[in-house]
Amino acid sequence: MSYVTASRLTRRYDLSDPWFIRMIAGRKTNVLTAVNQVSFSIEKGTTYALVGESGSGKSTIAKMLAGVLTPSQGSIEIDGQDFNNPGLNNANKKLLRQRVQMVFQSPYASLNPRWKIGDILLEPINAFNLIEDKASRHKRVIELLEQVGMSAHDQMKYPHEFSGGQRQRISIARALACHPELIICDEPTSALDVSVQAQVLNLLKDLQNENTLTYLFISHDLAVISNMADKIGVLKDGELVEEGKTSDLLANPQHAYTKMLLAAAPDIGAYIS
Amino acid sequence: MMDDKDMQTPLLQINQLTVTLKKRQALFKAVDNLSLTVNKGEILGLVGESGAGKSMVGSAIMGLIDKPLFISSGEIYFKQRRIDINAQPFRGAEISMIFQDPLVSLNPLRTIGSQLVETIRTHIPLSKSEALERAKRLLEEVGIDPARINAYPHTFSGGMRQRVVIALALAPEPSLIIADEPTTALDVSVQAQILDLLKQLCKDRGTSIILITHDMGVIADTTNRVAVLYSGRLAEIGKTYDVLKNPCHPYTKGLVAATPQINGASLKNKLFQIPGSMPDLNSIPAGCAFYPRCSQAVSRCEGERPALFDNRTACWLFDKGAKPK
Amino acid sequence: MRRFFQSDIFYSFRYSPVAIVSFVIIVFIMLTAIFADLIAPNNPFDPASLNLMNGFTPPMQANDFTGEIFLMGTDDQGRDLFSTILYGLRISLFVGVMAVMLAMLLGVMLGLVAGFVGGWIDSFIMRFADIQMTFPSILVAMLIYGVAKGILPPEVRYEMSIAVLIISIGLSEWVPFARTVRGSTLVEKEKEYIIAAKMVGLSRYQIMIRHILPNVLSPVLVIATITFALAIIAEATLSFLGVGVPTTKPSLGTLIRIGQDFLFSGEWWILFFPAVTLLAFALSINLFGDWLRDTLNPKLK
């Protein structure tokens, strides 16, 4: 059985006017379906990429898998457990949360500017109560920093003292803090320069191998996805229009939208090979 | 498209431009002794990472440099005439600029028609109706239905708005358009359309374009020649095909190797990583700016800043007159 | 601390004459008020030390009857004006600081909750703020004063008037705090570090206090400075109108009121010195607040 299974995920937003305005002005209800019956599954230790343009619903799906947005319909199962099961008590909910973490797009908005790095990394450790004594917690923080290629004395600094790429590494370290199994990467390198992007993508690959991590990788950049993903799902206007292994999908796209995306994507490779 | 005759009379020539930043009584060079040319009817790419100074070069040409930045030395020649750094109207008519965010480039309170007409009439003496006709033709040229001339910007999508911005840039019939990351905020499919439009305009009208971007893929798809910037200096310049296929400067080599490609067979292999990061303005090395990160550096690179060799690259490795190591 | 002196803010301060001068004046006045005991030649609040014959002495001139010399003259009851101003400043400062703190506490709390929780709570708080803004603070103060006067026994009159002043000024000045904090909260709550905090399982309350609050406080400092000036003037106005501190232990406002009566009969100094002090103090605070707002403004870079 797959590690992550999303079944018929749907998310609707009710944008209607209040009912008596509708009555008076004769307007209809207006419901926006951001995500429509999207199903996919991810094998443990692999990277599944969701590619789409703005309005495709990829960020909404990311948030639903992260647990910060409730699906209007459909279910999410992680390692056999239903994520949104109302029967789950708080303790189990927390355990489930511990297994899923997220790395965000904006290096500037993903770290609290008023907190020291050490505190930012301590927060998940404290919240999930993973380590008992204080000394070991601090050791863990240093361990996390070194895992992402940074150093122990960075923990006394503030986010604004770091570059975009370094901040993304700190975000990754924070995501690793509670030993998650699934990491949702929401456009983690879209705001970074090419050389920094290479460093971060390589880091993500290394971490995946060392810790058997499963990634849901969200991006609009087909080149990055080619490099990162085992399987790709193509989203258009909230629907999954095509899905397949990376090599298959890129070599033999079936859906017209996929073909269009591939044709439109600027690719240095096509130029120089 | 261009013959050798045109190559001898460049449209735009930048000589040893230096843009300095003044912060707390100290001076830093955001652009350092940069020289390059733009020929007629070509698309020149200006590529570099954040902080390399590429936007600064565009702003300098347009005269948009404001305190605390200022142009401390260098000259810019347009059509063989020297540009006075502070002459606004001259540039507006001959050189236009397009920015990244179409949302803020258009006045939300005015129809696109009125903005176009105003721009046209500022530079070309036409009556209102003549200007309106011209505006409609411009909209057609950029792929917008001229019937929408009285629409407001917010009724257009991001890509369409960027087309309106391009129409505005074309209104004074410029010889040169500077496009500063024009497609970075747009979706991939829309980006392709806009870049195609720019290529078409260059071909049909002979307008030269300076395309500023950080995306190597965009450079590959769109430009004839490319200039690679690093720490405010020119690292390499040449025909796009040459520079990308056979890069000379170690930085360019690193950038190309670090750019992921859409490869049906690519199986999650690691991308090349240039160690370290581009230095801050206040810690640019004394010799070659790339020296601390360069795997091919020689001792000379540490203390001496390389000149441009072969009209191609600023790297001591290519100094043919040098004695062997 | 060293990091502060190397910061951009301090640099801007050093090179701004307005900031330095206004800051110096503020600190000077506050110190003289705090150390009034030590500086003042005599205690004007002690009725026993007053000599009615000293009344109406012009500044720096020997009194006709007792021969004493007063730096700024005396008022109608023989109080040394200089000492009275110093002690009066104390009251003004106390009321000002306490009122600002009340307004800040109330405003920041309400703004945080309105911005973060949203929904009908947000609407309710904001409409309440709108309604509150339609009432001039002076009227609110007079209302509270009148009610309090009717309820409380006369022995606590003096303490009551201070409390009434603080409460009424504080209650009328909380809205700018709330609005600004609510705006900043709305912006911050969409940022990704809040999502990260949610994913770790923090409660809404924890997120509000630990994550959002530190990031919405910077404009609060500027508003506090400006509100402080407003509070000082509000207190002076209320005392001037007679609904503030009674004349036995006058504040600056009361002194101005007293002085106004005597302006045209020649005893100009009773009005002049308290008014100038109030002006200098309020102006300095306003200028400093303006400078602070301009410096803390994220610059274009």
Domains of chain A: 4-90+99-108+181-272 (3.40.50.300)
Confirm whether C36 is domain-assigned.
yes
Confirm whether C175 is domain-assigned.
yes
The encoded tokens of residue C263 equal 């302006």
pLDDT digits over C182-225, tens only?
999 999 998 999 999 988 888 888 999 999 998 888 889 888 98
Q: Highest mean pLDDT range out of A42-46, B75-79, C93-97?
A: A42-46
**B255 at interface of A, judged by CB pairs closer than 8 A:** yes
Residue A1: exposure state from Cβ atoms within 10 A (0-12, 13-18, ≥19): exposed
Q: Do B261 and A269 touch (CB under 8 A)?
A: yes
C-alpha–C-alpha distance, residues A125 and A176, integer Å: 10
pLDDT at C71: 75
Listed by number, the residues of chain B in 275-314 with a beta carbon closer than 8 Å to a beta carbon of chain A are: 277
**Which SS3 state, helix, strand or coil, does residue A47 take?**
strand
* DSSP 8-state class, residue A3: S
Residue span of the structural domain in which B310 resides: 9-260+269-318
Indicate the average pLDDT of chain A: 88
* DSSP 8-state class, residue B293: G
Residue B85 has pLDDT above 70, yes or no: no
For residue C25, the one-letter residue type is I
End-to-end, the C-alpha distance of chain A in Å comes to 40
Cβ atoms B266, A226 nearer than 8 A: yes
Stated as kind and residue range, the H or E segment containing B200 is helix B188-205
Q: Beta partners for A73?
A: A10
Give the residue on A whose Cα is nearest the Cα of C188: A109
Instruction: Say which residues have a Cβ less than 8 Å from residue B274's Cβ, sequence separation at least 6.
Output: A195, A198, B251, B254, B255, B258, B293
Which of A193, A202, A247, A260 is the best substitution to test chain B (most B C-beta atoms within 10 A)?
A193
Confirm whether B3 is domain-assigned.
no
Give the residue on A whose Cα is nearest the Cα of C203: A127
Residues above pLDDT 70, as percent of chain B = 92
Contacts of A52 in chain B (CB under 8 A): none
Q: Tokens 């800043």: give the residue.
A: B305
Q: What is the mean pLDDT of residues B112-129?
A: 89
DSSP per position, C251-297: -HHHHHHHHHHHGGGT-THHHHHHHHHHHHHHHHHHHHHHHHHHHHS
Give the residue on A whose Cα is nearest the Cα of C190: A109
Confirm whether B324 is domain-assigned.
no
Contacts of A112 in chain C (CB under 8 A): 193, 211, 214-215
In total, chain A counts a number of residues equal to: 273
C-alpha–C-alpha distance, residues B321 and B260, integer Å: 36
Residue A48 has pLDDT above 80, yes or no: yes
C-alpha–C-alpha distance, residues A188 and A172, integer Å: 9
Instruction: Say which residues have a Cβ less than 8 Å from residue B19's Cβ, sequence separation at least 6.
Output: B29, B30, B31, B53, B56, B57, B60, B65, B69, B70, B71, B72, B232
Contacts of C6 in chain A (CB under 8 A): none
pLDDT at A216: 95
Contacts of A263 in chain B (CB under 8 A): 192
Q: Which CATH number covers residue C275?
A: 1.10.3720.10
DSSP per position, C114-174: HHHH-HHHHHHHHHHHHHHHHS-HHHHHHHHHHHHHHHS-GGGHHHHHHHHHHHHHHHHSH
C-alpha–C-alpha distance, residues B112 and B165, integer Å: 9
C-alpha–C-alpha distance, residues C291 and C294, integer Å: 5
Q: Do A194 and B277 touch (CB under 8 A)?
A: no
Full strand arrangement of the beta sheet holding B26-38: B26-38, B12-23, B69-78, B81-82
Distance from CA of C215 to the nearest CA of A (A): 7
pLDDT at B87: 57
Q: What region does B183 belong to: left with phi over 0, alpha with psi -120 to 50, or beta?
A: alpha
Confirm whether C161 is domain-assigned.
yes
Residue C180 has pLDDT above 90, yes or no: yes
pLDDT at B243: 93
Stated as kind and residue range, the H or E segment containing B36 is strand B26-38
Q: What is the mean pLDDT of residues A92-115?
A: 88
Q: What is the mean pLDDT of residues B270-296?
A: 88
Instruction: Say which residues have a Cβ less than 8 Å from residue B189's Cβ, sequence separation at least 6.
Output: A53, A260, A261, A264
Confirm whether C52 is domain-assigned.
no
Cβ atoms A111, A160 nearer than 8 A: no
C-alpha–C-alpha distance, residues B299 and B288, integer Å: 11
Q: Tokens 């094998």: give the residue.
A: A43
C-alpha–C-alpha distance, residues A56 and A48, integer Å: 16
**Which SS3 state, helix, strand or coil, does residue C72 take?**
coil
C-alpha–C-alpha distance, residues B263 and B257, integer Å: 14
The encoded tokens of residue A88 equal 């789950």
Distance from CA of B45 to the nearest CA of A (A): 14
Q: What angle do CA A165, A170, A173 make, to 5 degrees?
A: 130
DSSP per position, B115-130: HHHHHHHHHS---HHH
Which of B54, B191, B261, B294 is the best substitution to test chain A (most A C-beta atoms within 10 A)?
B261
Distance from CA of B241 to the nearest CA of A (A): 7
**Which SS3 state, helix, strand or coil, does residue B246 take?**
coil
Residues above pLDDT 90, as percent of chain A = 49
Residue span of the structural domain in which C214 resides: 17-43+71-296
C-alpha–C-alpha distance, residues A212 and C156, integer Å: 73
C-alpha–C-alpha distance, residues A248 and A265, integer Å: 17
**Which SS3 state, helix, strand or coil, does residue B279 take?**
coil
Residue C290: φ, ψ to 5°: -60, -45
Confirm whether C125 is domain-assigned.
yes
pLDDT digits over C141-174, tens only?
778 777 877 777 766 666 777 888 888 888 888 9
* DSSP 8-state class, residue B324: P
Contacts of C7 in chain A (CB under 8 A): none
Q: What is the mean pLDDT of residues B6-28?
A: 84
Tally of domains in chain C:
1
Residue A104 has pLDDT above 90, yes or no: yes
Could you tell me the CA-to-CA distances from C175 to A199, A240, C79, C168 in Å, in that order?
48, 48, 39, 13
CB atoms within 10 A of CB B203: 12
Could you tell me the CA-to-CA distances from A253 to A28, A227, A235, A245, B221 in Å, in that order?
39, 17, 14, 11, 21
Contacts of A267 in chain B (CB under 8 A): 217, 220-221, 261-262
pLDDT at B265: 60
Confirm whether B1 is domain-assigned.
no
Tally of domains in chain B:
1
B43 CA to centre of own chain: 9
Full strand arrangement of the beta sheet holding A31-42: A31-42, A4-14, A73-78, A81-82
Give the residue on A whose Cα is nearest the Cα of C193: A110
Cβ atoms C25, C284 nearer than 8 A: yes
Q: Which CATH number covers residue B247?
A: 3.40.50.300
Contacts of B188 in chain A (CB under 8 A): 53, 220-222, 261, 264-265
CB atoms within 10 A of CB B248: 21
Residue A61 has pLDDT above 80, yes or no: yes
Q: At A191, is the pLDDT very low, low, confident or very high (cuts 50, 70, 90)?
A: confident
Listed by number, the residues of chain C in 135-194 with a beta carbon closer than 8 Å to a beta carbon of chain A are: 191-193
Q: At B88, is the pLDDT very low, low, confident or very high (cuts 50, 70, 90)?
A: low
Q: What is the CA radius of gyration of chain C?
A: 23
C-alpha–C-alpha distance, residues C191 and C262, integer Å: 61
In total, chain C counts a number of residues equal to: 301
Q: Do A66 and C195 touch (CB under 8 A)?
A: yes
Query: Of residues A271 and C286, which shows the higher confidence score?
Result: C286
Residue B19: φ, ψ to 5°: -110, 125
pLDDT at C57: 74
DSSP per position, A232-248: EEEEETTEEEEEEEHHH
pLDDT digits over C35-70, tens only?
877 777 767 666 666 677 767 777 777 777 776 777
Q: Beta partners for B44?
A: B210, B225
C-alpha–C-alpha distance, residues C279 and B44, integer Å: 62
Indicate the average pLDDT of chain C: 82
Query: Of residues B266 and C166, which shows the higher confidence score?
Result: C166
Confirm whether B31 is domain-assigned.
yes
Q: What is the mean pLDDT of residues B149-163?
A: 89
Choose the closest CB to A67 out of C199, C211, C215. C199
Q: What is the mean pLDDT of residues C90-99?
A: 88
Q: What value of ipTM does the predicted structure carry? A: 0.85
Could you tell me the CA-to-CA distances from B166 to B178, B182, B198, C41, C244 in Å, in that order?
11, 9, 9, 77, 65
**Which SS3 state, helix, strand or coil, does residue C34 take?**
helix
The encoded tokens of residue C39 equal 């500086």
pLDDT at A273: 65
CA dihedral A180, A186, A188, A191 (to 10 degrees): -160
pLDDT digits over B195-242, tens only?
999 999 999 999 999 999 999 999 999 999 999 999 999 999 999 999
Q: What is the mean pLDDT of residues A228-249?
A: 93
Q: Do A127 and C201 touch (CB under 8 A)?
A: yes
Stated as kind and residue range, the H or E segment containing C40 is none
Q: What is the mean pLDDT of residues A79-106?
A: 81
Q: Give the residue from B219, B275, B265, B211 showing the smallest Cα distance to B244.
A: B219
The encoded tokens of residue C52 equal 């009615």
pLDDT digits over B21-52, tens only?
988 888 899 999 999 999 999 999 999 988 88
C-alpha–C-alpha distance, residues B239 and B8, integer Å: 16
Q: Do C197 and A123 touch (CB under 8 A)?
A: yes
Confirm whether C4 is domain-assigned.
no
C-alpha–C-alpha distance, residues B208 and A180, integer Å: 52
The encoded tokens of residue B236 equal 């390499």
Confirm whether B221 is domain-assigned.
yes
